[in-house]
Amino acid sequence: MPGAAAGVTLRAVQLPIPVRRLGYRCAYAVLLCYWFLLRPRVSGVKCVLTRADEVLLVRHTYGDREWDLPGGAIRRGEPPLDTARREMHEELGVLIDDWHPLGEVHGVVHHRRDTLHCFEAEVRDGRLEIDRGELAVVRWFPRVELPEDVGHYVHPVLERSAG
């Protein structure tokens, strides 16, 4: 990197978790207005991460705060599989190469028209490095004992899953 001393690694400065959480909540409030006014088509991913007979669910620090599958928005020009890899690394600190595609799920939530590309992967190493700014809590649930308060897409995506 130009201007960096040899052998020195530069790391991005991260805002404190409470500030990041406030930023996510504010951005989500703006997005709710945008979705209501424009009713856009949005493409994203949902990822079914499994560990034996368990599935990983997350609660975000913003939005409806229901238990949900991890995932995120597809960036312009980004292939959905690359989005799944990126989002799982950013949110959970896992690097997964062995993904199984589950197809697409379509729906309307908060007036936005969603196309979700769904993927599944087994997590062999259970260690997660959670982004505490975006995720309030993560938990492994047996597939047959999911909580009642799950997000809109959890059941339709899990129905496509091999588990």
Q: List, for residues 44-69, the tens digit of each pLDDT value.
A: 999 999 999 999 999 999 999 999 99
In a domain, 66, yes or no: yes
Domain annotation covers residue 80:
yes
Please give the pLDDT value at position 8. Answer: 65
Predicted local confidence at residue 121, as pLDDT: 96
Torsion-angle region of 81 (φ positive above 0: left; ψ -120 to 50: alpha; else: beta):
alpha
- Phi first, then psi: give them for residue 77, nearest 5 degrees: 80, 0
Tokens found for residue 7: 């052998």
- pLDDT, tens digit, 9 for 90 and up, residues 115-163: 999 999 999 877 899 999 999 999 999 999 999 999 999 999 999 987 6
Check whether 70 has a pLDDT greater than 90. yes
Nearest to 46, CA basis, from 27, 21, 25, 74: 74
Domain membership of residue 34 (yes or no) is yes
Q: What is the per-residue pLDDT for 127?
A: 83
pLDDT at 75: 97
Of the candidates 83, 82, 91, which has an alpha carbon nearest to the alpha carbon of residue 128? 91
126/50 Cα distance (integer angstroms): 10
Beta strands per DSSP E along the chain: 41-51, 54-60, 71-73, 100-109, 112-122, 135-142
Which residues pair with residue 115 across a beta bridge?
Answer: 43, 106
Q: Is residue 101 part of a domain?
A: yes
The stretch 66-85 carries a mean pLDDT of: 97
The answer to whether residue 56 is domain-embedded is yes
In single-letter form, the type of residue at position 9 comes to T
Nearest to 54 by CA among 130, 128, 135, 108: 128
Integer angstrom CA distances of residue 91 from 47, 71, 94, 125, 133: 12, 9, 8, 16, 9
Is 140 a domain residue? yes
Q: What's 139's domain CATH number?
A: 3.90.79.10
Per-residue pLDDT of 84-114, as tens digits, reads: 999 999 999 999 989 999 999 999 999 999 9
Count structural domains, the chain. 1
- For residue 1, the model assigns a pLDDT of 47
The model's pLDDT over 1-13, given as tens digits with 9 standing for 90+, comes to 455 555 666 666 7
